[in-house]
Amino acid sequence: MKFIQQLAASILNYRDRIAFHINGVDYTYAQFLYKIEGIRGSIRSQIPDDEKLIGLVTHDDLESYAAILALWFEAKAYVPVNPKNPAERNLQVFRQTDTSFVLDSKPDGSLNQFELINTAELGDESDLSVLKPVEDPSKDLAYILFTSGTTGLPKGVPITYSNMQGLVDAIDADEPFNLAPDDRCLQMFELTFDFSVVAYLFPLLAGAGIYTIPQDAIKYLYIFKLIKEQRLSVLTMVPSIINYLRPYFGEINAPSVRYCSFGGGALHFDLAKEWSNCLPNCQIFNYYGPTEFTVYSGYYPYHKETANKSYNGIISTGSPLKNVHYLVADENNKEVSDGITGELCLGGIQLTPGYWKNPERNKKVFFNYEKNGEIIKYYRTGDLCFKDEAGDFMYVGRADFQVKIRGYRVELAEIEYHVKNVMKQKVNVVAIDVLNRLENAELALAFESNNFEIDYIMDYLKEQMPPYMIPSHIEFIAEFPHSLNGKIDRKKLRTYFKL
């Protein structure tokens, strides 16, 4: 696979340059290589060839990134879990993927039923002048990420090496975005979140530096610190993160930043405009793309004077990348005319082979459609869009009850599922998203009942779901508001929450 060879070449070429800046410490590409080769040695001696899906406990350290590259150079896939998530959820992930080997640089004993490889002590300096990746059949998987599922079980999205090559080719073909070895790039994402892939992959391919956020730091303040002290030049971020800095935008002037890529949630026009004033030399990209389509499928190049197309205050998602097919479809998978709102469907080489062991879900969201004499497999994203006369796609809203919390996809039904699973009271409960004073989405639970003790419910939720999925606001409402057609009026329900 071409990008794997390119990664190997880049690591060898730039051995004296900074690859990572983690928790205040710089690591060169040579140090990175030493770690990668050490971990590869253990993989080769301990893991059988046919074991492809390897667990990775993600930390903010060099070992976690080296483990990913080591697995790729050995033609295996990483299945990341976050040690801050409940143990039960992480076990569910490994059970679903039949994972038996796990790489971890800080084992805490919670995963002792697996074959653990402690990556902290590993390193190999026998010969750091060559780096030969194992040749891999392109259909093999590169990673599997799990996102919130409506049935209470996390949903696995497998991504192949071909999917990734498709992403790399599409970004390479795109003129405006080109990283160089002297770029200093922000990597603010947990490795269980697919946005992290572009935040480490493209800098590594270019021999650039990757600047991470310590796990217990307040992200938005640390980002400001990195921009200021390390003069970052490339930012990749979710819009909600800079909402927190908004009251202080007047103090931010970062001429070093040349690219700022947004993704993982709607980018509001007024926020983009104010933020662009803080970055006088910066091009802003509003990327769009679900995990199922290998991070990015397209983007809109925002510019406060010349390109600021928006709909309902939300910046356009723009047009598809090279070799990506967009189709706006109705409920029957038929294309609608330009200007008409429908569900955005994506086709092309970056599309996942399908949800992991989930034929029912796959039948629902993937379909074949003939366009210009070619049959293409499409994925229904759940995002409602229309195409304008210039060919740009405008985001309108969601077709279902999925919300974005700090960039993470959350199925409200999954939260309701877990509440109902443990709740002794027989009352209605609804999970909704509400906006806080900084205009960021938070999760709330509404019970149709008089007050009762819910500590046991919250304790249970914390055992089942990652921290970002735990509702932070609770209201008891005697009678839920209903719309004319008899459904619970979620819009009105939100007004009961005073934030």
Partner 1 sequence: MDKEQLLLKITEAFSKVLEHNNFELQNETTANDVDGWDSVTHMMIINEIENLFSIKFQLMDLMNMQNVGDLVAVLEKELASKA
Binding site for partner 1 (CB under 8 A): 216, 218-222, 224-225, 228, 244-245, 247-248, 251-252, 406, 436-438, 440, 442, 472
Q: CB 233 → partner 1: shortest distance, Å?
A: 19
164-185 as b/e: b if 16+ CB within 10 A: bbbbbbbbbebeebebeeebbb
Tell me whether residue 166 or residue 407 sits nearer to partner 1 (CB atom).
Answer: 407
Compute the distance between CA of residue 48 and CA of residue 131 in angstroms, rounded to an integer: 21
Tell me whether residue 278 or residue 295 sits nearer to partner 1 (CB atom).
Answer: 278
Compute the distance between CA of residue 87 and CA of residue 143 in angstroms, rounded to an integer: 20
DSSP string covering 226-264, please? HHHHS---EEEE-HHHHHTTGGGGGG---TT--EEEE-S
Report in angstroms the alpha-carbon separations of 370 from 335, 365, 367, 420, 448: 10, 16, 10, 42, 47
Tell me whether residue 201 or residue 232 sits nearer to partner 1 (CB atom).
Answer: 232
Q: Which residue has the tokens 């009251």?
A: 247
Q: CB 485 → partner 1: shortest distance, Å?
A: 35
Length of the chain: 499
> What residue ranges in 82-207 does DSSP mark as E strands?
101-104, 115-118, 141-147, 155-160, 184-187
Q: CB 467 → partner 1: shortest distance, Å?
A: 8
Largest alpha-carbon pair distance within the chain? 73
Contact status, residue 352 vs residue 324, Cβ threshold 8 Å: no
Beta sheet of 77-81, edge-to-edge order: 115-118, 101-104, 53-57, 77-81, 141-147, 155-160
> What residue ranges in 330-479 does DSSP mark as E strands?
342-348, 366-371, 374-387, 393-398, 402-405, 408-411, 429-435, 441-448, 473-477
Q: CB 221 → partner 1: shortest distance, Å?
A: 5
Q: CB 407 → partner 1: shortest distance, Å?
A: 13
Tell me whether residue 220 or residue 379 sits nearer to partner 1 (CB atom).
Answer: 220
Compute the distance between CA of residue 469 and CA of residue 409 in angstroms, rounded to an integer: 9
Q: CB 166 → partner 1: shortest distance, Å?
A: 34
φ, ψ at 483 (rounded to 5°): -85, 175
Compute the distance between CA of residue 312 and CA of residue 322 in angstroms, rounded to an integer: 28
Tell me whether residue 159 or residue 271 sits nearer to partner 1 (CB atom).
Answer: 271
Q: CB 248 → partner 1: shortest distance, Å?
A: 4
The pair of structure tokens assigned to 446 is: 């509404």
Torsion of Cα atoms, 202 then 203 then 207 then 210, to 10°: -160
Burial class (CB in 10 A: 0-12, 13-18, 19+), 228: middle
Q: Which residue has the tokens 């508001």?
A: 481
Tell me whether residue 247 or residue 359 sits nearer to partner 1 (CB atom).
Answer: 247
Q: CB 427 → partner 1: shortest distance, Å?
A: 22
Tell me whether residue 214 or residue 339 sits nearer to partner 1 (CB atom).
Answer: 214
Q: CB 143 → partner 1: shortest distance, Å?
A: 26
Contact status, residue 182 vs residue 207, Cβ threshold 8 Å: no
Tell me whether residue 253 or residue 450 sits nearer to partner 1 (CB atom).
Answer: 253
Tell me whether residue 68 or residue 186 sits nearer to partner 1 (CB atom).
Answer: 186
Q: Which residue has the tokens 């990597």?
A: 187
Compute the distance between CA of residue 146 and CA of residue 309 in angstroms, rounded to an integer: 33
Tell me whether residue 177 or residue 222 sits nearer to partner 1 (CB atom).
Answer: 222
Q: CB 181 → partner 1: shortest distance, Å?
A: 28
Q: CB 235 → partner 1: shortest distance, Å?
A: 16
In a 3-state reduction of DSSP, which class is residue 443? strand
Q: CB 219 → partner 1: shortest distance, Å?
A: 6
